[in-house]
């Protein structure tokens, strides 16, 4: 039960009558010779870590190591109770949970790379928002994580999930595609719809550059996780409504890699372009590079 492309994954689903999560679980047990119980335990552990990192900063915000972020998720949660809130509860939870995970990552807490540390908030943001707003069980969430993992696996095999290699599109774009596919399966969509959503998610973020201020995975990384979560839910809704992307997932994954390799070095995690190269970004970078004496603020 292995697959190397999206086309092969859909064929395995059709032959077995299983959703993407079911095929991915079979792949894990068949190819690694691990029992289903071990796979289930690993899924539960990953979801527990994700939940802690998504919810912890809402109660106990922490300043990041570089000091560029900290407390944003808690402020979003407080604003959600106001009359001026611009989004519904599902999207609101998805963006604040995604930003909370980045806060944990940037303050040296424990997160699950999904697929990377810099994009670790997108999948949990979408999963936990859907769980709370749609009444999903833990078992259903595990299936969502398996589906997301299958898409992530395909992108690692056929494209890239590295910002240094292919820009932020490879990190946030991949995470958004993973979350979009998971959302579709959780909402009852077909395997084909899952990959339609993933392809849409990749195309929407195609060309996104990686330009961390001061070279730190803090800003604009945190807000881009929120954008990735919003994009995932948008693409899931499009796919579930029957809207198809004209470019197949496999072609979109290949093109993302090509576009990423075409980006200049300055826009691939070097902190030499984009947001990092603005006057303010450069000033922050210089400030954060200076050694701090004991007692200095």
Note whether residue 91 is domain-resident. Answer: yes
Is 268's pLDDT higher than 70? yes
Note whether residue 288 is domain-resident. Answer: no
Dist. CA 253–CA 274, nearest whole Å: 24
The pLDDT, as a whole number, for residue 295 is: 45
Is 282's pLDDT higher than 80? yes
Note whether residue 198 is domain-resident. Answer: yes
Is 291's pLDDT higher than 80? no
Note whether residue 293 is domain-resident. Answer: no
Note whether residue 291 is domain-resident. Answer: no
Q: What is the mean pLDDT of the chain?
A: 96
User: What's the domain range around 212?
Assistant: 6-275
Dist. CA 271–CA 40, nearest whole Å: 39
The pLDDT, as a whole number, for residue 290 is: 61
CA-CA distances (angstroms) from residue 259 to 154, 205, 215, 235?
Answer: 17, 11, 22, 21
122 contact partners, CB below 8 Å, separation of at least 6 = 98, 114, 172, 175, 176, 178, 179, 225, 228, 229, 232
Dist. CA 164–CA 170, nearest whole Å: 9
Domain count across the chain = 1
The pLDDT, as a whole number, for residue 220 is: 98
The pLDDT, as a whole number, for residue 237 is: 98
pLDDT, tens digit, for every residue of 175-215?
999 999 999 999 999 999 999 999 999 999 999 999 999 99
Note whether residue 285 is domain-resident. Answer: no
* Residues recorded for the chain: 297
- Tell the residue number behind the tokens 């029992």, with chain if given: 35
The CATH number linked to 92 is: 1.10.4100
Q: Do the Cβ atoms of 153 and 80 come closer than 8 Å?
A: no
Note whether residue 284 is domain-resident. Answer: no
Predicted TM-score (pTM) of this structure: 0.96
- Note the Cα 142 to chain centre separation in Å: 16
pLDDT, tens digit, for every residue of 97-143?
999 999 999 999 999 999 999 999 999 999 999 999 999 999 999 99
E strands, 46-177, in order? none
pLDDT, tens digit, for every residue of 2-13?
999 999 999 999
Note whether residue 286 is domain-resident. Answer: no
């Amino acid at each position: 039960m292995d697959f190397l492309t999206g086309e092969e994954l859909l064929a395995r689903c059709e032959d077995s009558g299983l959703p993407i999560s079911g095929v991915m679980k079979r792949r894990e047990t068949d190819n690694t010779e691990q029992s289903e119980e071990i796979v289930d335990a690993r899924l539960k552990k990953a979801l527990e870590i994700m939940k802690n990192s998504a919810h912890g900063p809402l109660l106990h915000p922490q300043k990041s190591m570089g000091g560029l972020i900290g407390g944003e998720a808690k402020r979003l949660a407080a604003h959600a109770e106001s009359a001026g809130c611009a989004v519904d509860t599902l999207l609101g939870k998805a963006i604040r949970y995604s930003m909370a995970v980045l806060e944990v990552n940037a303050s040296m807490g424990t997160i699950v790379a999904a697929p990377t540390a810099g994009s670790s908030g997108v999948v949990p943001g979408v999963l936990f928002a859907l769980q709370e707003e749609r009444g999903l069980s833990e078992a259903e969430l595990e299936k969502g994580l398996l589906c997301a993992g299958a898409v992530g696996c395909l992108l690692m095999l056929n494209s890239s999930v590295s910002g240094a290699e292919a820009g932020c599109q490879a990190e946030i774009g991949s995470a958004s595609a993973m979350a979009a596919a998971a959302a579709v399966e959780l909402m009852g969509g077909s395997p084909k719809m899952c990959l339609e959503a993933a392809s849409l998610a990749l195309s929407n973020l195609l060309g996104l550059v990686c330009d961390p201020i001061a070279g730190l995975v803090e800003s604009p990384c945190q807000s881009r996780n929120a954008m990735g979560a919003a994009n995932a839910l948008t693409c899931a809704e499009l796919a579930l409504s029957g809207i198809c992307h004209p470019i197949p997932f496999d072609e979109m994954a290949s093109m993302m890699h090509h576009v990423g390799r075409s980006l200049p070095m300055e826009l691939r995690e070097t902190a030499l372009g984009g947001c990092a190269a603005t006057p303010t970004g450069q000033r922050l970078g210089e400030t954060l590079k200076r050694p701090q004496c004991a007692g200095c603020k």
